[in-house]
Structure 1
Amino acid sequence: MGNVSLEIANLSKEFVGAKGTVTALSNVDLDVHKGEFITVIGPSGCGKSTLLRIVAGLDTQYAGHVRLNGAPIVKPGIDKGFIFQEHRLFPWLTVEKNIASDLSLNDKDVRRKVDELIELVRLKGFEKAYPRELSGGMAQRVSIARALLRQPQILLLDEPFGALDAFTRAHMQEVLLEVWRNNKTTMIFVTHDIDEAIFLADRVVILKPRPGEISAIVPVELSHPRKKASPDFQALRLKVLNQFESGEAFQFADGAGI
């Protein structure tokens, strides 16, 4: 990979409530390279979504350092795209107008970019459709296109396919990989699905239960297109599953501790 795009160093996050202090993240260190696809897995409540919110600039109350291209992240901005589990489209706007959002389709550059993104996320022919006329997968494709329109330096995805059926989810994984290959956007993708994590990622980051700490960072050195039923995929899946369940680092064949 190229230069470091995102640098997370000694990141810790606490929430103070009526019942005391809860540590959501503890001493998280992670460098993400430009154009890299990172997936994050871990049990519920381990701080996965909190990590994304901090990187997005939606939560700035934490200890440690989080930098994007060398600059501290202090607020949300168009340099950071965020996609939630639900599509959050404007119901009164068509597909093309949802993608353009507050930008005018009368602008030739905006029009061209919207048309290119509609083609990229495979929504040609649905430009004039409203969200109520779309399937869940199609709506999420609109969300992805909208996030990419402003060419963010990093795209953060918080279980965006969690509510989809298995067939739609598999299709959306392919669509997202196509988007990633074409745009070379740095991505961090949170999921509970180990197969999805391995299928998409250059590296899988595994968090321990609360407080969320990184227990392992697993490189995925499988070529694309990846086949989930292949022996190599299943062998890696077993290693990730064992690590996920144990919360302890393991050794790879080359002896490197993860």
Structure 2
Amino acid sequence: MGNALLEINQLNKSFGRSKNIVHALKDIELAIEEGELVTIIGPSGCGKSTLLRIIAGLDGEYTGKVTLAGEAIKGPGIDKGFIFQEHRLFPWLTVEKNIASDLSLSDKDVRRRVDELIELVKLKGFEKAYPKELSGGMAQRVAIARALLRNPKILLLDEPFGALDAFTRAHMQEVLLEIWRANKTTMIFVTHDIDEAVFLANRVIILKPRPGEISAVVPVELPYPRQKATPIFQSLRLQVLSRFEQTEEFAFTEGAGI
């Protein structure tokens, strides 16, 4: 590896002590180039969210090396945006104030940036609305806009559409791709949905559990926009599914011996 935006070398992460140690991640080697949109899939408990938290600087208890733009990640910062499954908006703030977060809308630069983001996530006309007045998809668009406010080097998304209905989820996938194409922000997107992983990504990373290891990296060389019903998409989906099922079988076999 070298000159990638994000570089992970020999990352190992464990929880617990003595005989109760759980090895969450083992020997993770990963390089993410600037402008990539990478998805991560794997069975529950394989360390997907733990990996995101380490990249975000929210967990510093690990061995190995994790660097962003050549600098070791030592904690949270404005260079890393994080979006959770729940939107986590402040219910007492309007859309525009949620996006501005701790910055003042009276600042002309902040005002301009918030207006740009409202346009980008297609929420024009809802600037003064409160979270309770928004649909789930709209609330997540506010969360994405807020995460993009300070132009992070990388955006980390931990199953952000998992709680949405199928129709809204499909719409949000399209919205996210539009944002990615417009902003060129590097993104790592965790999901349990194989269709979603293939639809969004330049590469799909498959993790296997106990401990979490990278079992496969599948490049997705389909042009955008992608159509899920096409034979070429379904062929690639089956390829990823086959790799994933091998991972699931491994996990079941390993678990059966415990």
Given the two structures, how large is their TM-score scaled by the length of structure 1?
Answer: 0.94
Unmatched tracts of structure 1, length 5 or more:
249-258
Q: Which residue is equivalent to 2:163?
A: 163
Q: Which residue is equivalent to 2:210?
A: 210
Counterpart residue identity of residue 165, structure 2:
D
Q: Which residue is equivalent to 1:54?
A: 54
Counterpart residue identity of residue 209, structure 2:
P
Q: Which residue is equivalent to 2:175?
A: 175
Residues 3, 35 of structure 1: alpha-carbon distance in 2 compared, 3 angstrom cutoff: farther
Q: Which residue is equivalent to 2:30?
A: 30
| Equivalent position SS for 1:87 | coil
Q: 1:3·1:34 contact (CA, 8 Å) conserved in 2?
A: no
Aligned mates of 1:202, 1:20 — CA distance in 2: 38
Higher normalized helix content (fraction of residues) = 2
Q: 1:37·1:186 contact (CA, 8 Å) conserved in 2?
A: yes
Q: 1:85·1:161 contact (CA, 8 Å) conserved in 2?
A: yes
| Equivalent position SS for 1:86 | coil
Aligned mates of 1:15, 1:62 — CA distance in 2: 9
Q: Which residue is equivalent to 2:253?
A: none
Q: How many residues align?
A: 247
Q: Deviations over 1:79-100 (max 9, x none)?
A: 0000000000000000000000
Unmatched tracts of structure 2, length 5 or more:
249-258
Q: CA deviation at 1:247?
A: 2.5
Percent identity between matched residues is 77
Aligned mates of 2:76, 2:41 — CA distance in 1: 24
Give the alignment of 1:189-228 within 5 angstroms.
189-228=189-228
Aligned mates of 1:19, 1:134 — CA distance in 2: 48
Q: Deviations over 1:52-86 (max 9, x none)?
A: 00000000010111000110001000000000000
Q: CA deviation at 1:3?
A: 4.7
Q: CA deviation at 1:170?
A: 0.5
Q: Deviations over 1:111-153 (max 9, x none)?
A: 1110010010010110000000001000000000000000000
* Runs of 4+ with deviation above 3 angstroms: none
Q: Deviations over 1:11-37 (max 9, x none)?
A: 110001586000000000000000100
Give the alignment of 1:5-16 within 5 angstroms.
5-16=5-16
| Equivalent position SS for 2:122 | coil
Aligned mates of 1:53, 1:152 — CA distance in 2: 15
Q: Which residue is equivalent to 2:254?
A: none
Q: Which residue is equivalent to 1:80?
A: 80
Aligned mates of 1:105, 1:87 — CA distance in 2: 21
The alignment yields a C-alpha RMSD, in angstroms, of 1.3
